[in-house]
Amino acid sequence: MRQQLEEAATALKLRLQNLDVRTLNDLTSAFQAANKGRAEALLAVTSFVLISHQKRIVELAQQNRLPAIYPWPEFVQTGGLMSYGASSEDLFRRAATYVDKILKGAKPAELPVEQPTKFEFLVNLKAAKQIRLTIPQKVLSRADRVIK
């Protein structure tokens, strides 16, 4: 995924600053490095630390007035600015279908692997206001949900 991000950044003439966070203790120094590197936004990618410390990450992004996009809607509900990713609700519903098939005798190894099919884009206008960011109407019109 990192290579794909770098290729996209190059195509868009953006500079990526990788902030490797492995533990809760790394978070504060990562945001300090982002400030030192004059980061203009944060793209949070899936990791155990991200899942485990979502509230702290959202707080640090707000404190540093750093617009951030997260992979799950739960971050926006916690106060994050925006998220784009597979619908958690849809993933759980589809997982239940797999459990049902297995309980009815299907062999797990014989079930097909499926990719997510439903994605959601959420925007939190309260979070935008906190960091003094105006979200263009064109972006808001594309959102599946806007928190006011």
Contacts of 132 (CB under 8 A, 6+ apart): 65
Q: Is a pLDDT exceeding 80 seen at residue 65?
A: yes
Going 111 to 114 to 118 to 121, the CA torsion angle's sign is positive
Tokens of 62: 């707000």
* Residue 63: band (very low, low, confident or very high) from pLDDT cuts 50, 70, 90: very high
Rg (the chain; Cα; Å): 18
Residue 123, both tokens:
């925007």
Please state whether the predicted TM-score (pTM) of the whole model is above 0.75. Answer: yes
Work out the average pLDDT over 136-146: 97
Cα–Cα distance measured from residue 139 to residue 72, given in angstroms and rounded to the nearest whole number: 18
Lowest mean pLDDT among 77-81, 88-92, 99-103, 120-124: 88-92
Do β-strands 119-124 and 82-86 pair in parallel, antiparallel, or remain unpaired? antiparallel
* Closest to 80 (Cα-Cα) out of 116, 131, 29: 131
At residue 49 the predicted structure's pLDDT band, cuts being 50, 70 and 90, is confident
What pLDDT score does 109 carry? 95
Which has more confidence, 102 or 88? 102
Q: What would the pLDDT profile of 95-134 be if each residue is shown by its tens digit?
A: 999 999 999 999 999 999 989 999 999 999 999 999 999 9
What residues does each domain of the chain span? 2-85+118-147
Flag the least confident range among 43-52, 69-78, 86-95, 98-107.
Answer: 43-52
Digit-coded pLDDT (tens) for 10-45: 999 999 998 888 888 899 899 999 999 999 999 998
Structural class in CATH, domain 2-85+118-147: alpha beta
| DSSP one-letter string for 71-109 | SSHHHHHTT-SEEEEE-HHHHHHHHHHHHHHHHTT--GG
